[in-house]
Chains A and B, each alone.
Chain A
């Protein structure tokens, strides 16, 4: 059950995934880290606007991410 690692922005809405890595500059990585995007945390796309921002479910909270940011979070789909 090896699943591909893909950017969060490409994840199918509603599917659960696990954060594998955050790429990008130091500042962005630190910001995402303090918001809870740690390696191993469970994420899901709750809602997305075409070409617009996404609402992500992370732990017990909801976080809005711009498209560009969502491409920097690498996730792995989990089977649910």
Chain B
């Protein structure tokens, strides 16, 4: 984002009555707002285009003021300060930071990525009904590891890798390039890493490493590698590898079901293979619950349908090594034999270099055009929007998939927009037009935010809602 001072522009004309009813911040003038593409705990994500260069799409992530009336959201601060320091092809690029002084909210502008692994996997599972081709899997995985290796060598642990946080660029110079996103939970190792639960943060458990499930207090880069292993398997099978039922409760509850799912596939961890296992709090606390069970080693290879001799299987099993100290690192994984055999990984993961391979047209991200930057919903029916230039250009973009783009108008009372794809920026669904920008700076704002917060708390009790995956009811809701 270049020079912070000149880019951290301020604004939002607000409070005064002589602004022709236009409550938009001044910096907003440089963007054409297309609509809302995500919504969650910290705020909303919008799709916009830069007016001076309409071919350029930008995702704008809006952070509300922190809920407890304690100034700028710490999550936003963390994400910005890390992203200011890093620069890598496989990490999402923060291009600007904008401030709305009226309600002390922050807007982070990123290069827009049309796809994410969550949507790509879902498309293959539900629409294409066939696996992702080998070239694409390998290229996605290689680029993910490449970005992660960069982060780890800069002492940054992501801590919340999951398919929806792994973005893939659509049409353009960077078509098919992987971008690791959402650094709201990322940490520099050097500072003491508090357990996520202590920060009051809730993330999906499906990609959580066993040492964390067993109560390890310290995060290492190995937790990210476990998540990569889970994502690798999901790319191969189109199903989450360890789909445990999350136990809700305070704080850091013992996730028995998640461990159970892991042990069923990988067998029981032993002290022999994982000497520090006995030091983990939950191992002792739940000796009977865990160790009382007999686990047949079902065999990872049968779950992912790979021969144990296959290098892909070898790499996967090294990522899913129980002992975090023995788990393969990102740097080692990049050197693995799997990446040196055909098909070789490429920069455009979505389009294989060889002709003849079937090209999959991935759907574009749904956009809710009824919501503006303030988070207020206008009462127009939503429009299908292409990634190209649909709104103002009128021409359909090259990737328009009609079946995908059609959206239902969102009923006002519902307040829950298209959950699919919304999780791309890790803002799991949340109720709320409230808590948005309050241009007048009227005290009501805080009350509304508090209300939204309550709703969100309630939603957290819904197991499906917080995983970032599809709550079951949405499957039937669609189409």
- Tell me, yes or no, whether A binds B: no
A interface residues (Cβ-Cβ under 8 A, vs B): none
